[in-house]
């Protein structure tokens, strides 16, 4: 049936987000459980793979955190295998990190996986809980595949036959050493980092090379070994001179599957007032829960320490390479609600709320954060522009007019346009969401016949959502709601008029504009749907771009089917992807179609097989919003579900009489 004939009984409102009976939430998410009774079946499902990048899982940009694989100096230690209960052929687990001297503040230099740009961790983390539970904060070392040479024990990797088992993937929050001398305490000195872990087994000894630096301020490098079944999953206390190493981290939860048996720790302390002399490396070792012994001191940086228990230690602190000392400005790893690394359209759903004069359009997909444009054209009344004119309002840096002479399919004459996009602001570095809108009149932008000045508005709204690394900013613009405050008043001299309200109704009454006539939200978390080679998953995507628009603002005449065309283009509007509403005969990007092959001005959709627009109203009606049980009918069981669940039916935060009233009104027209 025609959606235009379906009226849902809801309480009156004037805004998309007003106090209405269970309306869709404009958040870029289609929730079948709560919104399936509003949005009908798919109005369109894409059949074309994306030619503008597939937003798959695990993607990000930036992440230039240094060159940890190039570091060849650091902390080298020799430990008897017997001291760890090993023979030399086992697979062991190793966890470790740089910590403060009292072991109460852990750095972000750990052996294991942390997301790029993770800051220092702090005291006693729980590695089994968020945000660490999706990664592994330890490594496995198969001793049978380690190196087999006896290294020179000089704090370097050169010619020692070590095998690498770990490279760092995060910047250091404990200072980036820049001195370059073997003690690393001259000008520019001061910093601790773990760049890599290397191992060799020879002559009954385990040799470990931890490339990087250890500062002479007492920072500790703590290495925990899981060498046998059993052991400690949570740190509590030990005994002996090194008790502080465990007790300072009391309450720390290791990864699931990691049971610590032994700890080896080293720290360098400046024992006099001269930072370049008497820098003493001290090592501790022992079983978790037992005595952790002081193994003694090495003479200094750059000198071999023969410690008790046949342990040897050598520290070369000259590294100035490796990881950097500031965040790498990496963007978030997909999936992420705000960031996407490809642009695609998957499907469209529609909800016409005539009682409240609203049209909701949900467009499943992604918009890459490079200012790719989602152009939406609506045909909601007779007239319009079957061929885009060049005398529309100046909006989107006049790129609406730059698209002039595009010819749409026969029967499609849009009279309203929107451009939705996001990207990183070149000044602030913030990710911003933006939407532009304009009225498309049959005869071009409205001109005052007496004074010959422009009366139509170019509308825009947007702002920052996150910073450049994905952290929320203050007051993020998650919903572009066209709430003002800007509205230019034509004084007879303005060559262009701009507003942050809806452009059509603002033109009618610019001195008293209405907020909230348009609402737009982007959720970029989809990593499924169409790929660069298949469109098989297009119907299943439930996140993307959601639009709510007042029907008077849209210009609907109350009877015509509302048609929508559009596409994703590049940031300059002059190259169209193959992500186009309607049908395309091939999977190729539409690209430029003008005579000079450098724009879209001669693009003629009548020359492309199929219709490149869709009818938003020729879909099945949504189910009853008061059908809380989902059985297709409004009955006693729905009332029971409302009362037992104390459902906030009208969305005003809380269950009260008004929810019951709105629920009964909504159910009045249900089966």
How would you label 246-269 residue by residue, b for 16+ Cβ within 10 Å and e otherwise? bbbbeebbbbeebbbbbbbbbbbe
Report how far residue 443's alpha carbon sits from residue 422's, in angstroms, rounded to the nearest whole number.
31
Q: Using CA atoms, how far apart are residues 565 and 603, in angstroms rounded to an integer?
A: 14
Both tokens of 224, joined, read 């925990």
Task: Return the pLDDT at 598.
Answer: 53
CB 524 within 8 Å of CB 337:
yes
> Residue 621: what pLDDT?
55
Place of tokens 């152009």: 375
Cα(173)–Cα(166) distance, integer angstroms: 19
CA dist., res. 592 & res. 87, Å (int)? 68
Tell me the per-residue pLDDT of 296-320, one tens digit each, with 9 for 90 and over: 999 999 999 999 999 999 999 999 9
Report whether 51 contacts 589 (CB < 8 A): yes
Q: How far apart are CA 146 and CA 162, in angstroms?
A: 7
pLDDT score recorded for residue 11: 27
Confidence (pLDDT) at 512: 96
| β-bridge partners, 328 | none
The three-state secondary structure class of 507 is helix
> So what's the pLDDT on residue 594?
55
Which residues sit opposite 221 in a β-bridge? 98, 266
Nearest one of 219, 214, 207 to 311, comparing CA atoms:
207
Running along the chain, 671 residues long, what does each successive block of 10 average in pLDDT? 29 38 86 88 96 94 91 98 96 98 96 90 95 93 96 94 96 92 74 97 98 94 96 94 96 96 95 72 96 96 96 96 90 94 97 93 97 98 97 96 95 98 88 97 95 96 92 93 97 96 97 97 97 96 98 96 97 94 95 60 89 89 66 74 78 76 71 53
CA distance 265 to 208: 13
β strands within 471-612, DSSP E: 479-480, 498-499, 518-522, 544-550, 563-569, 576-580
323, β-bridge pairs: 66
The first and second tokens of residue 324, run together, are 């950097």
Strand, coil or helix: what is 199? strand
Q: Are 383 and 82 in contact (CB under 8 A)?
A: no
Q: Which value, in Å, is the radius of gyration of the alpha carbons in the chain?
A: 32
Q: Which of 464, 467, 459 is nearest to 476 (CA)?
A: 464
* Separation between Cα atoms, residue 367 and residue 353, nearest integer Å: 27
Element (H, E) at 353: strand 344-353
Which tokens in the block code for residue 575?
Answer: 């190259």
- Separation of alpha carbons 306 and 314, rounded Å: 9
| CB atoms inside a 10 Å sphere around CB 134 | 8
Q: Whose structure tokens read 């052996």?
A: 111
Per-residue pLDDT at 16: 59
Place of tokens 């009279």: 415
DSSP 378-442: EE-SS---SB--S-S---TTTHHHHTTT-BPPTT----EEEEEEEEE-TTT--EEEEEEEEE--T
Which residues lie closer than 8 Å to 404 by C-beta, 6 or more apart?
Answer: 388, 389, 390, 392, 601
Contact indicator for 207, 356 with CB cutoff of 8 Å:
no
CB burial of 640-668 (b: ≥16 within 10 Å; e: otherwise) equals eebeeeebebbbeeebeebbbebbbbbbe
Give residue limits of the domains in the chain: 29-61+331-623, 66-323, 635-671
Q: Are strands 498-499 and 44-45 parallel, antiparallel or unpaired?
A: unpaired
Neighbours of 180 (CB within 10 A): 15
Q: Are 546 and 35 in contact (CB under 8 A)?
A: no
String of b and e for 23-40 (b: at least 16 CB within 10 Å)? bbbbbbbbeeeebbbbbb
């Amino acid at each position: 049936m025609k959606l235009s004939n379906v009226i849902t009984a809801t309480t009156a409102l004037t805004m998309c987000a007003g106090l209405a009976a269970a309306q869709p939430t404009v958040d870029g998410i289609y929730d079948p459980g709560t919104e399936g009774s509003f949005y009908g079946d798919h109005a369109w499902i894409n059949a074309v793979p994306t030619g503008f990048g597939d937003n798959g899982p695990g993607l990000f940009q930036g992440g230039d955190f240094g060159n940890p694989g190039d570091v060849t100096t650091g902390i080298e230690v020799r430990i008897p295998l017997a001291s760890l209960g090993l023979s030399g052929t086992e697979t062991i687990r190793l966890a470790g990190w740089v910590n403060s001297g009292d072991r109460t503040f852990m750095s972000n230099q750990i052996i294991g996986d942390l997301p790029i740009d993770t800051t220092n961790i702090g005291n006693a983390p729980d590695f089994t809980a968020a945000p660490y539970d999706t990664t592994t904060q330890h490594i496995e070392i198969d001793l049978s595949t380690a190196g087999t040479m006896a290294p020179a024990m000089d704090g370097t990797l050169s010619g020692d036959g070590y095998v690498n088992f770990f490279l760092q993937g995060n910047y250091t929050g404990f200072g980036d050493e820049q001195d370059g001398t073997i003690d690393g305490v001259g000008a520019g000195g001061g910093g601790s980092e773990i760049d890599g872990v290397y191992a060799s087994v020879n002559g009954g000894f385990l040799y470990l090379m931890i490339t990087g630096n250890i500062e002479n301020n007492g920072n500790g490098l703590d290495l925990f070994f899981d060498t046998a079944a059993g052991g400690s999953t949570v740190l509590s206390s030990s005994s002996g001179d090194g008790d502080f190493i465990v007790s300072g981290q009391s309450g720390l939860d290791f990864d699931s599957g990691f049971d610590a048996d032994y700890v080896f720790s080293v720290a360098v302390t400046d024992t006099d007032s001269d930072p370049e002399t008497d820098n003493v490396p001290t090592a501790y070792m022992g079983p978790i829960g037992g005595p952790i012994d002081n193994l003694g001191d090495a003479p200094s940086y750059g000198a071999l320490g023969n410690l008790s228990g046949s342990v040897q230690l050598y520290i070369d602190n000259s590294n100035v390479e490796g990881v950097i000392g500031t965040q790498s400005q990496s963007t978030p790893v997909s999936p992420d609600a705000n960031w996407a690394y490809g642009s695609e359209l998957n499907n469209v759903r529609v909800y016409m709320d005539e009682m409240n004069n609203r049209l909701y359009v949900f467009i499943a997909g992604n918009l890459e954060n490079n200012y790719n444009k989602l152009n939406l054209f609506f045909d909601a009344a007779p007239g319009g522009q079957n061929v885009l004119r060049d005398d529309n309002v100046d909006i989107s840096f006049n790129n609406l007019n730059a698209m002039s002479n595009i010819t749409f399919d026969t029967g499609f004459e849009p009279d309203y346009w929107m451009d939705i996009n996001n990207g990183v602001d070149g000044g602030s570095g913030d990710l911003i969401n933006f939407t532009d809108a304009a009225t498309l009149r049959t005869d071009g932008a409205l001109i005052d016949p007496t004074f010959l000045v422009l009366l139509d508005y170019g509308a825009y709204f947007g702002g920052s959502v996150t910073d450049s690394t994905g952290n929320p900013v203050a007051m993020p613009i998650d919903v572009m709601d066209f709430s003002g405050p800007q509205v230019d008043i034509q004084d007879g001299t303005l060559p262009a008029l701009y507003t942050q309200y809806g452009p059509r109704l603002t033109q009618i009454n610019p001195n008293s504009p209405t907020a909230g006539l348009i609402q737009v939200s982007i959720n970029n978390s989809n990593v499924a749907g169409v790929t660069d080679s298949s469109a098989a998953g297009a119907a299943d995507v439930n996140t993307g771009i959601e639009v709510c628009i007042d029907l008077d603002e849209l210009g609907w005449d109350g009877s015509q089917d509302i048609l929508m065309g559009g596409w994703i283009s590049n940031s300059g509007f002059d190259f169209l992807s193959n992500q186009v509403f309607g049908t395309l005969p091939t999977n190729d990007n539409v690209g430029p179609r003008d005579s000079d092959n450098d724009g879209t001005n001669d693009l003629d959709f009548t020359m492309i097989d199929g219709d490149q627009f869709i009818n938003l109203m020729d879909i099945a009606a949504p189910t009853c919003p008061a059908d809380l049980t989902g059985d297709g009918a409004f009955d006693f069981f729905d009332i029971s579900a409302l009362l037992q669940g104390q459902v906030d039916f009208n969305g005003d935060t809380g269950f009260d009489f008004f929810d019951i009233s709105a629920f009964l009104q909504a159910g009045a027209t249900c089966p």
